[in-house]
Amino acid sequence: MKTVVSGIRSTGHLHLGNYFGALRNFVKIQEQFNCFYFIADLHSLTTHPHPDDFHASVRTILAEYLAAGLDPEKCTLFVQSDVPEVSELYVLLNMLAYKGELERTTSFKDKVRLAKAQARGVAVSDVAENDQNDEGVNINAGLLTYPVLMASDILIHRANYVPVGKDQMQHLEFARTLARRFNNMYGEEVFPEPEAFNFGQAPIKVPGLDGSGKMGKSEGNGIYLYDDEKTITKKVMRALTDSGPKEPNSPMPDYIQNLFTLMALVSEPVVIDQFKAAYADCSIRYGDLKKQLAADICKFTLPIRERIDDIYNNDEFLRKVTRQGAEKARESAAATLALARKAVGFKTF
């Protein structure tokens, strides 16, 4: 049976990008493959969460995973830091990762630019892409080696498939590179090269509704699984629009296309077609479109939301789930680490 690995960072609630880009697929394939899903709490440390909030954030993602349908009897569900083998493999893989390639990673460059913009009190677009001035910003090494830790998460279970959204594709490509590099250097087929998994479709990017492109936590434009109906409706009704097309069959601006992209995830095809036709003949009313979109998002998320609090507050259940998950994940991780250590040349006296 093929092995699947994926995780989500414990930074706040899950949004529709996390759900449609990743979690929905986690749930769909949990019976079909040997699945390892985790909460990436070590990855969340790059932004130094306050110790008082750290555990609650892990608990939040765990509760939302379970509420969305992950079943601990069908998949291995665990907390990244409960599996120390991941950190040991990270050390080994760090020796094979080059500083230059890490610095060229898009997510790293974006984070550096954002940090510089914040330090200077300017917009990100005011920081040149090739800006070399590091004054006043401290970029921690964990941020630079973030893709190595992610590769370790994937390779420690010798994963074949990784269900992730489009924004993680470069990181996944890097995990493939490290798997190849390790196998080449040590002359052993320790790691299979992991592939993206999205049911044969291209990986998706769920857009934000503010015209900014991606929906994301750091973008501050998330519609969360934990949002109630009123909040979701308010967020959708605020989405950027304009006064509507003036000529039949006009090209669609990005921010309108984004509304349709979200609709494609939650609405019935006939409904989408009606709105598309109305756009084409200029009779569209964006207020109606947004109301429909909000109602259809709620239909999807409210049944999940209803379950979150009960699960979040069920200490005994969460303890059982994480213990069982850690045990299973450690067994798999220890087996891989033993192979990797042997390949590198470690021996006991």
Residue located via tokens 């490290």: 178
Residues 155 and 143: their CA atoms lie apart, in Å, by 19
Report the nearest approach of ligand TYM to the CB of residue 120 (Å): 25
Residues 6+ apart with CB under 8 A from 49: 11, 57
Segment contacting ligand TYM by CB under 6 A, of 132-140, 148-156, 257-265, 327-335: 148-156
317 burial level (CB within 10 Å; 0-12, 13-18, 19+): middle
Number of residues that bind ligand TYM (CB under 6 A): 27
**Cα–Cα distance, 273 to 277 (Å, whole number):** 6
Q: Kindly tell me the sign of the dihedral angle through the C-alpha atoms of 344, 100, 83, 64.
A: negative
Instruction: Using CB under 6 A, pick the residue from 3, 4, 7, 75 that binds ligand TYM.
Output: 7
Residues 57-116 interacting with ligand TYM (rule: CB under 6 A): none
Contact code string over 276-315 relative to ligand TYM, x by CB under 6 A:
----------------------------------------
Residue nearest to ligand TYM (CB): 21
User: Considering only residues 27, 164, 209, 239, which one is a binding residue for ligand TYM as defined by CB under 6 A?
Assistant: 164
Residue 204 interacting with ligand TYM (CB under 6 A): yes
Token pair in block for residue 335: 């087996």
Encoded one letter per residue, x for contact with ligand TYM by CB under 6 A and - for no contact, window 170-189 reads -x------------------
From CA 242, how far away is CA 285, in angstroms rounded?
10
| Residues paired with 8 in a beta bridge | 39
Query: Considering 111, 235, 290, 328, which one is annotated as catalytic?
Result: 111
154 near ligand TYM, rule: CB under 6 A: yes
Position among 9, 59, 111, 305 found at the interface with ligand TYM (CB under 6 A): 9
Cβ atoms within 10 Å, residue 270: 7
Q: Where are the alpha helices (DSSP H) in 76-228?
A: 85-94, 99-103, 106-120, 141-144, 146-155, 169-186
Of 291, 294, 178, 286, the C-alpha closest to 228 is 294
Catalytic site residue 230?
Answer: no
- Is-catalytic flag, 111? yes
Let me know: does 33 contact 158? Beta carbons within 8 Å.
Answer: no
Structure tokens at 73: 């009897």
- Residue 222 interacts with ligand TYM (CB under 6 A): yes or no: no
* Interface segment toward ligand TYM; rule CB under 6 A; list 16-24, 92-100, 253-261, 332-340: 16-24
Identify whether 214 is a catalytic site residue: yes
Report if residue 153 touches ligand TYM, rule: CB under 6 A. yes
Distance CA 73, CA 281 (A): 51
- Contact by Cβ (8 Å): 74, 112: no
d(CA 85, CA 67): 28
Q: Which is nearer to ligand TYM, 217 or 307 (CB)?
A: 217
Catalytic annotation, pick one of 2, 166, 214, 291: 214
Stretch that binds ligand TYM, among 47-55, 210-218, 242-250, 293-301 (CB under 6 A): 210-218
12 touches ligand TYM (CB under 6 A) = no
Residue 17-36 contact track with ligand TYM, rule CB under 6 A, x = bound: xx--xx--------------
Of the candidate spans 184-192, 213-221, 270-278, 306-314, the one that interacts with ligand TYM by CB under 6 A turns out to be: 213-221
Decide: 19 and 68 in contact? Cβ < 8 Å.
yes
The Cα 206–Cα 185 span in angstroms is 38
Residues annotated as catalytic are 111, 214, 217
Q: Name the residues that contact ligand TYM, by CB under 6 A.
A: 5-9, 17-18, 21-22, 40, 43, 150, 153-154, 162, 164-168, 171, 204-206, 214-216
